[in-house]
Amino acid sequence: MAATASNLRELHEMHQRAKALRDRLGSGPRTLATRQTALAAKQAALIDARKALQDAKARLKNKEVQLQGQQAKVDDLNVKLNAVKKNEEYKAIQNQIAHDKLSMGKVEDEILETMTSIEGQIAAIAILESEAKAFEVEVATMKAQIDSQAGAQKTQLDELDRGIAAAEGIIPDDERERYRRTVKQRGADALAEVDGNACSGCYVSVTSQMVNELINGGGLTFCKTCGRILYLSEDSLAASGRGRN
């Protein structure tokens, strides 16, 4: 087997398929990791929201206890009020009651505010909970899908890698080292078609001597500008009169 245009094209296509497979194998877990991080953030937000709700409920309880204490005090004062004989004392207790009722009014307002806030928090938590649950299902489904595909993709990739190794038999021994270096550096982009006398990797024209080398086939021809391994496109090959080389 020689390094003909069609052999090189085939090898290039195999490299590209392997790259696409590797990209897919890598992108699935990356996407999954991103979603898992987002899910963890949502779950953490839910924990924070629940904690904030607990705090608000504790605040409400305190205010209610405070209000009860104030009410008890006012009740006592009212009892005293009925018992006092002196007018000055009566006035003083009345003032005290008026003052305490004002304080109670403030606490009652705070209780109402806190209750309204708690209602809002409960509604927000319900939304967060359903979102987190749906998100959790989505991430689990994604993980199962990626795991089930990964096995088949790995098998496919192994087959392809073996196919590439076999197809690399067309590379002449004395150019094998440079071929390996180029593939290591550029991956699937190590090879490029020559179409209309230009390298399709860097779009720089190749010399007519190089085109002749490509028509004759056999050894490898490297682009003088970008270093890619060149092969003639099917159209260029047909135009050269060699047909399917």
Q: How far is residue 117's CA from residue 127's CA, in Å, rounded to a whole number?
A: 16
**Which distant-in-sequence residues (6+ apart) come within 8 Å of 168 by Cβ?**
11, 176, 179
Distance in Å, CB of 196 to Zn ion, minimum: 13
Q: Which is nearer to Zn ion, 128 or 199 (CB)?
A: 199
User: Reading across the β-sheet that carries 221-222, which strands appear in turn?
Assistant: 198-199, 191-195, 229-232, 221-222
Q: Which tokens go with 108? A: 């009652």
Nearer to Zn ion, 201 or 217 (CB): 201
Paired residues of 230 in beta bridges: 192, 221
CA distance 153 to 203: 33
> Considering only residues 201, 210, 221, 237, which one is a binding residue for Zn ion as defined by CB under 5 A?
201
Shortest spacing between CB 225 and Zn ion, in angstroms: 5
Q: Which of 223, 229, 232, 237 binds Zn ion (CB under 5 A)?
A: 223
* Bridge-based pairing state of the strands 229-232 and 191-195: parallel
> What's the CA gap between 184 and 202, in Å, rounded?
18
Note whether 214 binds Zn ion by CB under 5 A.
no
Q: Which of 71, 96, 225, 240 binds Zn ion (CB under 5 A)?
A: 225
Which window, 10-18, 19-27, 123-131, 218-226, contacts Zn ion (CB under 5 A)? Answer: 218-226
Report the relative pairing of strands 229-232 and 221-222 from DSSP bridges. antiparallel
Give the total of residues touching Zn ion (CB under 5 A): 7
Out of 72, 122, 202, 238, the only residue in the binding site for Zn ion (CB under 5 A) is: 202
Asked if residue 162 lies in contact with residue 18, where contact means CB atoms within 8 angstroms, the answer is no
Report if residue 226 touches Zn ion, rule: CB under 5 A: yes
155 vs 197, beta carbon nearer Zn ion: 197
Hey, which residues between 24 and 43 contact Zn ion (CB under 5 A)? none
Name the 3-class secondary structure at 84. Answer: coil
**Given the complex with Zn ion, which of 221 and 245 has the nearer CB atom?**
221
Give the binding site for Zn ion (CB under 5 A): 199, 201-202, 223, 225-226, 228
